[in-house]
Amino acid sequence: MSRKTVAFAVSSLLLLCAYAAKADDQPPRDLKLVGDHWTAWDPPAPPPDAQVHTVVPGDTLWSLAAKFLGNPYLWPQLWEQNQYIRDAHWIYPGDPLILSTRVAAVEDLETVDLGGEGAPGEGEDGARAAGESGEESGAATEEELKLLRSAEEAAGAPNLLGSESDIYCAGYVGPLEETFPFSITGSEYDGLNPTMDTAAGAIRGNFGGEPSAKYGLDTGDIVYLNAGRNNGLAPGQVLTAVHPDDEVIHPVTGQVYGRLYRYSGRVRVLTAQADSSIAEIVFSCEPIAVGIALRPFEPQPVPLARRTTMRPPNLPSSAEKLIGGPVILLADDRVVSLGQDNVVYIDRGADDDVAPGDLYTIYRINKPGLPPVVLGELAVLSVHSRSSVARILQSRYTIHVGDRVEAK
């Protein structure tokens, strides 16, 4: 590896610092001809050992992650491999997209000879390197290594935008009436209470005649399901417990938007009979009741993103752009005064091309004639057809249901 390679790496990482510090609120406009196609970015030549996909019309990081990684929620892994892409929403036909490659850690440079072809300590160059400074031998100096590390740290790797509990203990806003394929029909506790002979004041010995010994079920409890092998259930299958909650009234239109379906936890099938199953509660967000609905569990990785500075308060969007735009529909646990780390629902979802990892600026519509107020920023964690779960990342003032949001 030559000194020019180190200089190029330093320049590239410093350039990433500038990229990470800039928020692209609008599609890039300064397209340039690179090879045989137009792009806004500066794609480098892929490493020789890289698996590369050439972007074609219609490609998105979301769709390519589904195709090549088997899960669209893993799209940040593609973004991490292709750091020349400044805004993950915009990729251009003809650009090379690295799917996988091996990149040496920065720390490895301390043991790499940058002066020529021989291994350290071999031949004339090796003998000179052993007795002279790194500057004279061609080895990376400590100052260069520090610069590489600081540039990498400044550019930053994508950060988690929330936690698993933010996703798996939230829920979604769906239609008013939704049917579920399975449910919990009972638990071991239903058969533990004996029937009391109140006249004699003694136990009859008939167990299961009285109400359940435990109503709020949680992790570790054994439950019974209303379906089995004939319904497609098998040992090891995981199901999500869903609690249909109240109707959701849209804070702006005043109309019924749907119903909140709250996630209560997960159960895993232990044994499956023909038409029933025995299962164990393996995760609980709240006490789970007999009768609760179940649906197949869908893993949803916590999305990643490179954080940029929040929208400056002196450069808000216009009120005209915000009217009719996305709105904070309701907050988790019906919280009224919202701030950083609160989980909320917005009234846009997969039907509106919202994707996990999308960032939004939060606004309050001001008095007539005054510009909107920048309140904070939120990140989308999971997406459903007509709604999305999001987490407030920053807040300048108290945020309320009904505040507007705009894609960053």
Tell me the two tokens of residue 80. Answer: 């991490």
Q: What is the pLDDT of residue 396?
A: 95
Residue-level pLDDT at 122: 40
| Contact indicator for 64, 98 with CB cutoff of 8 Å | no
Neighbours of 268 (CB within 10 A): 15
pLDDT number for residue 265: 97
Cα separation, 207 vs 184, whole angstroms: 21
3 state SS of 405: strand
At 212, the amino acid letter reads S
How far is the C-alpha of 215 from the C-alpha of 213, rounded, in Å?
7
Contacts within 8 Å (CB) and 24+ apart, 7-12: 9/148, 10/144, 10/147, 10/148, 10/151, 12/44
Taking the C-alpha atoms of residue 218 and residue 188, their distance in angstroms, rounded to an integer, is 12
Residues 6+ apart with CB under 8 A from 3: 114, 138
pLDDT of residue 134: 42
Reported for 40-44, long-range contacts at CB under 8 A and 24+ positions apart, including other chains, are 40/86, 40/90, 40/92, 41/84, 41/85, 41/86, 41/92, 41/95, 42/84, 43/82, 43/84, 43/95, 43/96, 44/12, 44/84
Distance of CA 320 to the CA centre of its chain: 30
**C-alpha span between 103 and 139 (Å, rounded):** 19
Look at residue 121 in the predicted model and tell me its pLDDT: 38
DSSP codes joined into one string, 244-295: EEEEEE-TTT-SEEEEEEEEEEEEEEEEE-SS-EEEEEEEESS-B-TT-EEE
**Contacts with 269 (C-beta within 8 Å, 6 or more apart), sequence order:** 225, 233, 234, 235, 236, 237, 238, 239, 277, 278, 279
Q: Please write down the long-range contacts of 43-46, taking CB distance under 8 Å and 24 or more positions apart.
A: 43/82, 43/84, 43/95, 43/96, 44/12, 44/84, 45/96, 46/96, 46/98, 46/101
**Could you tell me which residues come within 8 angstroms of residue 214 by beta carbon, excluding any fewer than 6 positions away?**
187, 189, 221
Q: Are strands 37-39 and 32-34 parallel, antiparallel or unpaired?
A: antiparallel
As a three-state string, the secondary structure of 333-396 is HHCCCECCCCEEEECCCHHHCCCCCCEEEEEECCCCCCCCEEEEEEEEEEECCCCEEEEEEEEC
C-alpha–C-alpha distance, residues 320 and 166, integer Å: 32
Query: Half-sphere exposure (CA, 13 Å, Cβ side) for 124?
Result: 0
Q: How far apart are the C-alpha atoms of 406 and 322, rounded to whole Å?
A: 7
Alpha-carbon span 335 to 165, nearest angstrom: 17
On whether the CB atoms of residues 293 and 182 are closer than 8 A, the answer is yes
Per-residue pLDDT of the chain (408 residues; tens, 9 = 90+): 444 443 434 344 344 444 433 444 455 667 888 888 899 898 998 888 888 999 999 899 988 988 888 888 788 888 888 989 988 888 999 999 998 754 444 444 444 443 444 433 344 443 333 334 344 445 556 665 555 555 445 555 678 899 999 999 999 999 999 999 999 999 998 877 766 555 555 555 555 555 666 888 999 999 999 999 999 999 999 999 999 999 999 999 999 999 999 999 999 999 999 999 999 999 999 999 999 999 999 998 899 887 788 999 999 999 999 999 999 999 988 888 999 999 999 999 999 999 999 999 999 999 999 999 999 999 999 999 999 999 999 999 999 999 999 998
Taking the C-alpha atoms of residue 337 and residue 402, their distance in angstroms, rounded to an integer, is 12
**pLDDT given for residue 31 in this prediction:** 85
